[in-house]
Amino acid sequence: MSSLADKRLLLGISGGIAAYKSADLVRRLKDRGAQVRVVMSAGAREFVQPLTFQALSGNPVHTDLLDPAAEAAMGHIELAKWAELILIAPASAQVMAKLACGMADDLLTTLCLASEAPVALAPAMNQAMWRHPATAVNAQTLRERGVQLWGPAAGSQACGDVGPGRMLEPADLAQQAESLLSGSSDCLRGKSVVITAGPTREALDPVRYLSNHSSGKMGFALAEAAQRAGAQVTLIAGPVNLATPAQVKRVDVVDARDMRAAAERAADLCDIFIGAAAVADFRPATMAEQKIKKREGCDESAIALVKNPDIVAGIAARSQRRPFTVGFAAETQQVEHYAQDKLQRKNLDMIIANDVSSTNSGFNSDRNAVTVIDRHSSTHLPQALKADLARQLIEIIAAKAQP
């Protein structure tokens, strides 16, 4: 039976072209057994008719705060108490700004203030609006208050732009709602977890570096999931452009040697260490003090590299204060074979292998598919949003890390 069976979900729809996708979302939530009531902002009603949502949800659509007839049927306070989850999809830049300020000037924003249910937003807007510092601050304020932000995804937009700002697909949102309402366990209550995330940058000269395409999304999703599961989390992040998950301690680093120093310090007091960072295996043997110049007539050049310290192997090699140590393996071929080899060679307790040969999974993507390997078993987790996968991984790691 779906964990949305009989769950009471209030779907808020704000103004944006993605509102048409919300019709499919209602259908998917209903298919999973949820009771759905829809609240539409004035902007949303410019894009889609309330009748569509009434037909799909089987309930009248709520639109006005001060409508006596609607209030007599199910008043806004009653509606706020009815909801077990408020999901706003699409969530426009405007609705995010209003919620961040605590405004209550229409039915949807009033319900969010009046309800004690968890609130999740599926942002959808033009990529420049999403990147705008005002939206970034609003998003961070909401996160810090415990509001969940699901997405946005990146890709081509209705206006012709390309970038972050697309609403997640209805199937993914329904999955996220199901994961949230299936009850987050506190499987890591009282535990301390250290996670490395993102790439490292190895300087060649003051303006150039060697690095890779890691976005940090996988490690940040793990940090958020571990914190929600009750852990105290330290996130050691290479150079990435991501907001810090609520109540997570973040340490920013640049290169592999900085990351190792931060990891060794933090690991002294931790129970679980997860190496999700894509650490550069090599760095330039020397860093030029000045920008390296092109030389006349010189069409080739070589860079001498030296090996970086292996951070996760160093943690796993400890004889004292050794945490349960988990590595990741990013492979483009023979994924399980190479991951097994790293598990043994680095003396890890567990390794999470991801196939990074495809562009819609692994590096710099919102999705991933992994195989969790320890010395006795191997479990495949099919492709899912990194946030969803992170919750599953944290459950598995918590169970295996039990003393």
Known binding-site residue numbers? 281, 291, 309-312, 328, 342, 346
Q: Which of 16, 165, 323, 327 binds ligand PMT (CB under 6 A)?
A: 327
Nearer to ligand PMT by Cβ, of 286 and 358: the residue is 358
Asked if 298 is an active-site residue, the reply is no
Helices (H), 102-255: 107-114, 127-131, 133-144, 170-181, 217-228
Q: What are phi and psi of 262, to 5 degrees?
A: -65, -40
Contact partners, residue 2, CB within 8 Å, separation at least 6: 32, 33, 178
236 touches ligand PMT (CB under 6 A) = no
Pair 23, 173: CB distance under 8 Å: no
- Residue 278 makes contact with ligand PMT by CB under 6 A: yes
Dihedral in degrees, nearest 10, Cα atoms 69, 70, 74, 79? -160
Work out which of 226, 312, 397, 398 binds ligand PMT, going by CB under 6 A.
Answer: 312
Shortest Å distance, C-beta 167 to ligand PMT: 20
| Phi, psi (deg, nearest 5) at residue 298 | -105, 105
Asked if 276 interacts with ligand PMT (CB under 6 A), we say yes
Question: Considering only residues 56, 195, 279, 389, which one is a binding residue for ligand PMT as defined by CB under 6 A?
Answer: 279
Classify residue 72 by burial, with Cβ atoms within 10 Å: 0-12, 13-18, 19+. exposed
Identify the active-site residue in 101, 159, 187, 270.
Answer: 159
What are the tokens at 72? 């007599």
Q: Which is closer to ligand PMT, CB of 95 or CB of 329?
A: 329
Sequence-ordered list of residues with C-beta below 8 angstroms from that of 302, at least 6 positions apart, any chain: none
Question: Is residue 209 involved in binding ligand PMT (CB under 6 A)?
Answer: no
Instruction: Note whether 363 binds ligand PMT by CB under 6 A.
Output: yes
- 146 — alpha (psi -120 to 50), left (phi > 0) or beta? left
Is 324 near ligand PMT (CB under 6 A)? no
The reply on whether position 151 binds ligand PMT by CB under 6 A is no
Q: Between 179 and 214, whose beta carbon lies closer to ligand PMT?
A: 214
Q: Which residues are catalytic?
A: 159
Residues that bind ligand PMT (CB under 6 A): 196, 198, 214-218, 256, 275-279, 281, 308, 310-312, 327-330, 342, 354, 356, 362-364
